[in-house]
Amino acid sequence: MKNIIQSEEIYNALKAGIKQTGVKLPRDVKQALKNAIEVETGPAEKVLRHISLNLETAEKENLPMCQDTGMIVAFVEMGNDVEIANAFIDDVINSAIEDAYEEAFFRKSVVADPLNGRQNTKTNLPAVIHHELKKGSDLKISLMLKGFGSENCSRIAMMKPTTSREEVIEAIAEIVTSAGGSPCPPSTLGIGIGGTMDYAAKLSKKALLRELDDTNPDPYYAQLEQDIYKRVNELGIGGGGLGGSITTLGVKVEKFATHIAGLPVAVSVNCWADRKTTVEFKGITK
């Protein structure tokens, strides 16, 4: 049975989600920051306490938590029995983004051409939208407000198929080390392993949408996430790059099949402002 969803429903839910996400961190990220404050000392603790105060002020005054309000990256998971009434889904998403940024006074940070002229679109459009068609009648749209201080520190490592698990962990640690304090640590890390170069990067972005306190359903990768988290926090970069025991708030890994001759590993770095939101429209279960 078709799940016919009115475009206005999607628009309103997305607009409200975007406006809230730029002002208020999700529960899991706030808890991770709180946990970090309890274990840090010295300059790193002061940085984290300033971040916490900044978040309280942003929520109280309904203001953006960071001047970089990001470029939107969206993941659309749509069932084959979903129908959007009187609209194209990408148009609905982009319309919600444009109006949310205008109404919330978020900085518009997207340029139309990356090299030739770099003129600001003045709408924060277009968004980067990934589509995944699934069986069923559910619609799920997840998005993040991706800042570019951290995005500029993201990397792809095209590794050999003989690369060991430990070498993968060290390659990720190297990427974080080279970034230093630039991505406004403590960061969150999305890791994509497998596929092709571009698909690994997509997986690494999707990984950033997971909650920091969830558990990977695959025991092997659940342990890998813990081991990467431990190794990165041993680097001593700490909050603001001033040294400390918490360099990352969380590590999430997504994986996919790959070619026998390769091992793509993508690392998407996010700052402490891990701004993400999800809207869902459930269909009828057969």
Domain that holds residue 189: 148-270
Q: What is the pLDDT of residue 1?
A: 77
Q: What is the pLDDT of residue 270?
A: 98
Q: Residue 207 falls within a domain, yes or no? A: yes
Q: Residue 31 falls within a domain, yes or no? A: no
Percentage of the chain exceeding pLDDT 90: 98
- Binned at pLDDT 50, 70 and 90, residue 285 comes out as low
From the CB of residue 248, how many other CB atoms can be counted at a distance below 10 Å? 26
10 and 109 share one domain: yes
Q: Residue 58 falls within a domain, yes or no? A: no
What residues contact residue 197 under an 8 Å CB cut-off, 6+ apart? 156, 158, 264, 266
pLDDT (average), residues 209-234: 97
Q: Residue 33 falls within a domain, yes or no? A: no
On whether the CB atoms of residues 263 and 163 are closer than 8 A, the answer is yes
| C-alpha to C-alpha distance for 209 and 77, rounded to whole angstroms | 13
Mean pLDDT for all residues in the chain: 97
Q: Residue 170 falls within a domain, yes or no? A: yes
Place of tokens 């949408």: 209
Q: What is the pLDDT of residue 283?
A: 82
Preceding omega of 264 cis (within 30 degrees of 0): no
195 and 250 share one domain: yes
164 and 243 share one domain: yes
165 and 258 share one domain: yes
| C-alpha to C-alpha distance for 224 and 142, rounded to whole angstroms | 24
Burial of 244 (0-12, 13-18, 19+ CB in 10 A): buried
- Binned at pLDDT 50, 70 and 90, residue 286 comes out as low
Q: Residue 237 falls within a domain, yes or no? A: yes
- The domain tally of the chain equals 2
| C-alpha to C-alpha distance for 206 and 198, rounded to whole angstroms | 13
- Binned at pLDDT 50, 70 and 90, residue 143 comes out as very high
183 and 113 share one domain: no
Q: How far from 64 is each of 10, 149, 180, 273, CA to CA, in Å?
A: 23, 16, 25, 11
On whether the CB atoms of residues 272 and 249 are closer than 8 A, the answer is yes
pLDDT in tens, 45-69: 999 999 999 999 999 999 999 999 9
139 and 179 share one domain: no
- Say whether pTM exceeds 0.85: yes
On whether the CB atoms of residues 94 and 125 are closer than 8 A, the answer is yes
92 and 214 share one domain: no
Q: What is the pLDDT of residue 32?
A: 97
142 and 153 share one domain: no
Q: Residue 53 falls within a domain, yes or no? A: no
193 and 84 share one domain: no
What residues contact residue 249 under an 8 Å CB cut-off, 6+ apart? 29, 32, 33, 36, 186, 187, 188, 212, 272, 274
pLDDT in tens, 82-136: 999 989 999 999 999 999 999 999 999 999 999 999 999 999 999 999 999 999 9
- The CATH code of the domain that includes 78 is 3.30.360
139 and 102 share one domain: yes
Q: Residue 50 falls within a domain, yes or no? A: no
130 and 216 share one domain: no
73 and 191 share one domain: no
On whether the CB atoms of residues 11 and 96 are closer than 8 A, the answer is yes
Give me the long-range contacts of 54-62 (CB less than 8 A, separation at least 24): 55/24, 55/25, 55/30, 58/23, 58/24, 59/23, 59/24, 62/23
